[in-house]
Homo-oligomer: A and B are copies of this chain.
Amino acid sequence: MSIRIGILGYGNLGKGVECAVMQNPDMELAAVFTRRAPESVQTLTEGVKVYSIEDAKNMTEQIDVMILCGGSATDLPEQTPVFGKLFNTVNSFDTHAKIPEHFAAVDAAAKGGKKVSIISVGWDPGMFSLNRLYANAILTDGVDYTFWGKGVSQGHSDAIRRIEGVKDGKQYTIPKEEALRAVRAGENPALTTREKHLRECFVVAEEGADQAKIEEAIKSMPNYFDEYDTIVHFISEEELKANHSGIPHGGFVIRSGKTGLHGENQHLIEYSLKLDSNPEFTASVLVAYARAAYRLAQEGACGCKTVFDIAPAYLSAKSPEELRSHLL
Contacts and interface: CB of A to CB of B under 8 A. Distances in A.
B261 A19 contact: yes
A97 to B, nearest CB: 9
Contacts of A117: none
One complex includes copies of this chain to the number of 2
Contact of A270 (B266, B272, B285, B309): B272
B140 A325 contact: no
Contacts of A23: 140-141, 259
- The interface size bin for chain A is 35 or more
Interface stretch (A78-86, A202-210, A314-322): A314-322
Interface stretch (A51-59, A131-139, A221-229, A235-243): A131-139
A164 interface: no
Interface stretch (A32-40, A155-163, A188-196, A274-282): A274-282
A181 interface: no
Contacts of A139: 284
Contacts of A165: none
Contact of A308 (B127, B132, B137, B328): B328
B260 A129 contact: no
A316 to B, nearest CB: 5
A268 interface: yes
Contacts of A264: 276
Interface in A260-315: 260-261, 264-277, 280-281, 283-285, 288, 291, 306-313, 315
